[in-house]
């Protein structure tokens, strides 16, 4: 079995006005501004949506990216609110030349895309680690092929470019879309991945973030795969875009409130057992990610199976870190550190290093804790498609402050703790820690 994501990467840093010059891993690209396109010259873009009960947020998304899209193709699943009406009213306001294509999906219209959430569904095939899944079960249908439901709409897009967003997303800089289409085409890239930010702190920083497929040429060989945590594949050259097309997941769609608990685990587990565990490596790692909370022993067995077949170093590093987190939850910090170190050996991941910083702290290995943190800082500049995010660094600063104090390096401990306080200004315990360190350092 091969990984789904076996393709060439073209990393570049883009900017609407002037590209930064501080990332040695990227080619710098300056984008054309929207007003620089002559009439009829701007690249045409289809907006591809998958939405369930998005009444509370889909209008905001359309206002956000509307000036830069020329068509909407929306797959609307199991929806009971006014989402479709809002889409139709928007299209009508854009005029008769604007195309709106809505695909409605329910268990009645597309039964092949659903499984029933009953115990018998998860007893097909054989267990992998003598596991017993005990639910809970809802007795209701579960949409179980998220790639295929996306492809229902993806294949109906008619414009040369397709922009993929969820209804509760907001694009930080939608004006970058036309220029990115031109730059991607000029550099032979068929698909662009950009930063996806989850949750915002009070200072405007992100709680966590990753890279996500976002803007693609409308080509027949590009399509969605994966029953859950679906991704785009089939591309020959993909661009990492750092600096533009930053998307914030606002997590405020009403559709999220009616999701079946544990649905991703249920989908992936059923499919793995149905196929006697002969599923793509990406499906294995996502199943492990879901199972580490539901059935930890199953997660470990799945990760071992994954590491036997996967060829993608960055994803192998991610799998190693998942192993480490399971052992860390069991307070086996020595084993956790071994897995985090393996992850670093597979790929220079900042998160792997910050996790190692955490486990070394629990081992009371103060210098190793500080060293791991420095490795994480050094690897921040490396663009990562998987498992990216700044919050691990910010949280690690608290641990490093304490480790530096244990090492007798008080001025450094004070400086690091002050950085942490800037990020977490309302953490009273952190404030007390800073006061203690300042006093220990002699003011």
Look at residues 255, 272, 298 and tell me which one is the last residue of a structural domain. Answer: 255
Query: pLDDT of 84-138, one tens digit each?
Result: 999 999 999 999 999 999 999 999 999 999 999 999 999 999 999 999 999 999 9
- Does residue 174 register a pLDDT over 50? yes
- Does residue 169 register a pLDDT over 50? yes
Query: pLDDT of 370-391, one tens digit each?
Result: 999 999 999 887 766 666 555 6
Label residue 349 by pLDDT band (50, 70, 90). confident
pLDDT at 6 (0 to 100): 36
Same-domain pairing of 250 and 362: no
Range of the domain at 222: 8-255
Compute the average pLDDT of residues 55-76: 96
Q: Which of 71, 70, 66, 32 is nearest to 182 (CA)?
A: 32
Q: Is residue 228 part of a domain?
A: yes
Same-domain pairing of 91 and 192: yes
How far CA 205 is from CA of 301, 414, 430, in Å, comes to 36, 22, 19
Judge if the upstream peptide bond of residue 136 is cis by omega within 30 degrees of 0. Answer: yes
CATH of the domain at 416: 1.25.40.10
Same-domain pairing of 103 and 224: yes
pLDDT at 5 (0 to 100): 39
Same-domain pairing of 138 and 25: yes
Q: Is residue 312 part of a domain?
A: no
pLDDT at 209 (0 to 100): 76
Number of domains in the chain: 2
Look at residues 212, 228, 255 and tell me which one is the last residue of a structural domain. Answer: 255
Structure token digits, residue 169: 């997303």
Compute the distance between CA of residue 85 and CA of residue 100 in angstroms, rounded to an integer: 12
- Does residue 254 register a pLDDT over 80? no
Query: pLDDT of 7-40, one tens digit each?
Result: 344 556 666 544 444 444 456 778 889 999 998 9
> Phi/psi at 426 (nearest 5 deg)?
-100, 10
Q: Which of 234, 239, 131 is nearest to 181 (CA)?
A: 239
Q: Is residue 148 part of a domain?
A: yes
Same-domain pairing of 249 and 386: no
Same-domain pairing of 95 and 222: yes
Q: Which of 329, 423, 428, 409 is nearest to 369 (CA)?
A: 409
Q: Is residue 436 part of a domain?
A: yes
Compute the average pLDDT of residues 238-242: 84
Compute the distance between CA of residue 389 and CA of residue 197 in angstroms, rounded to an integer: 8
Contact by Cβ (8 Å): 206, 200: yes
Q: Is residue 57 part of a domain?
A: yes
Query: pLDDT of 33-55, one tens digit each?
Result: 999 999 899 999 999 999 999 99
Look at residues 220, 238, 255 and tell me which one is the last residue of a structural domain. Answer: 255
Structure token digits, residue 311: 């060829």
Residue 101 CB neighbours (<10 A): 16
- Say if strands 206-217 and 191-200 run parallel, antiparallel, or are unpaired: antiparallel
Q: Is residue 315 part of a domain?
A: no
Same-domain pairing of 229 and 354: no
Same-domain pairing of 370 and 245: no
Structure token digits, residue 359: 């486990």
Q: Is residue 233 part of a domain?
A: yes
Q: Which of 5, 3, 31 is nearest to 18 (CA)?
A: 31
How far CA 119 is from CA of 20, 87, 137, 217, 288, in Å, comes to 54, 38, 7, 42, 20
> Phi/psi at 208 (nearest 5 deg)?
-165, 160
Same-domain pairing of 248 and 360: no
CATH of the domain at 51: 3.90.550
Label residue 233 by pLDDT band (50, 70, 90). confident
Structure token digits, residue 136: 């809970």
Same-domain pairing of 56 and 175: yes
Same-domain pairing of 244 and 384: no
Same-domain pairing of 66 and 187: yes
């Amino acid at each position: 079995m091969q990984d789904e994501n076996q393709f060439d990467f073209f990393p570049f840093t883009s900017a609407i006005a002037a590209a930064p010059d501080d990332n040695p891993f990227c080619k710098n690209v300056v984008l054309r501004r929207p007003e620089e396109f002559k009439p009829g010259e701007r690249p045409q873009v289809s907006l591809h949506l998958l939405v369930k009960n998005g009444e509370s947020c889909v209008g905001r998304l359309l206002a956000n990216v509307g000036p830069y899209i020329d068509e909407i193709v929306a797959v609307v699943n199991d929806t009971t609110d006014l989402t479709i009406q809002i889409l139709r009213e928007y299209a009508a306001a854009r005029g008769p030349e604007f195309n709106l294509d809505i695909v409605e999906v329910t268990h009645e219209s597309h039964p092949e895309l659903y499984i029933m959430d009953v115990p018998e569904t998860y007893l097909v095939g054989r267990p992998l680690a003598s596991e017993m899944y005990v639910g809970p079960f809802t007795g209701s249908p579960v949409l179980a092929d998220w790639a295929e439901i996306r492809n229902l709409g993806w294949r109906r897009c008619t414009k040369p470019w397709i922009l993929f967003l969820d209804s509760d997303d907001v694009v930080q800089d939608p004006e970058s879309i036309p220029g990115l289409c031109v730059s991607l085409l000029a550099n032979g890239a068929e698909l662009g991945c950009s930063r996806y930010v989850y949750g915002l702190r009070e200072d405007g920083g992100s709680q966590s973030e990753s890279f996500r497929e976002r803007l693609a040429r409308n080509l027949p060989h590009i399509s969605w795969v994966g029953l859950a945590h679906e991704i785009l594949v089939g591309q020959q050259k993909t661009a990492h875009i750092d600096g533009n097309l930053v998307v914030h997941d606002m997590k405020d769609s009403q559709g999220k409130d009616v999701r079946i608990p544990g649905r991703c685990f249920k989908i992936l587990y059923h499919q793995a057992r149905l196929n006697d565990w002969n599923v793509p490596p990406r499906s294995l790692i996502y199943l492990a990610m879901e199972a580490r909370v539901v059935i930890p022993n199953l997660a470990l067995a799945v990760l071992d199976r994954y590491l036997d077949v996967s060829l993608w170093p960055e994803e192998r590093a991610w799998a190693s870190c998942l192993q480490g987190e399971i052992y860390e939850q069991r307070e086996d910090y020595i084993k956790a550190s071994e897995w985090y170190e393996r992850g670093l050996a597979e790929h220079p991941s900042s998160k792997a290093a910050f996790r190692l910083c955490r486990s070394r702290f629990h081992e009371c290995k103060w210098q190793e804790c500080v060293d791991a943190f420095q490795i994480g800082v050094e690897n921040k500049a490396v663009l990562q498609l998987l498992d990216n995010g700044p919050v691990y660094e910010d949280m690690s600063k608290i641990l490093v402050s304490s480790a530096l104090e244990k090492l007798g390096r008080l001025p450094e401990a004070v400086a690091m703790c002050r950085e942490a306080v800037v990020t977490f200004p309302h953490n009273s315990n952190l404030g007390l820690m800073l006061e203690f360190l300042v006093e220990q350092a002699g003011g």
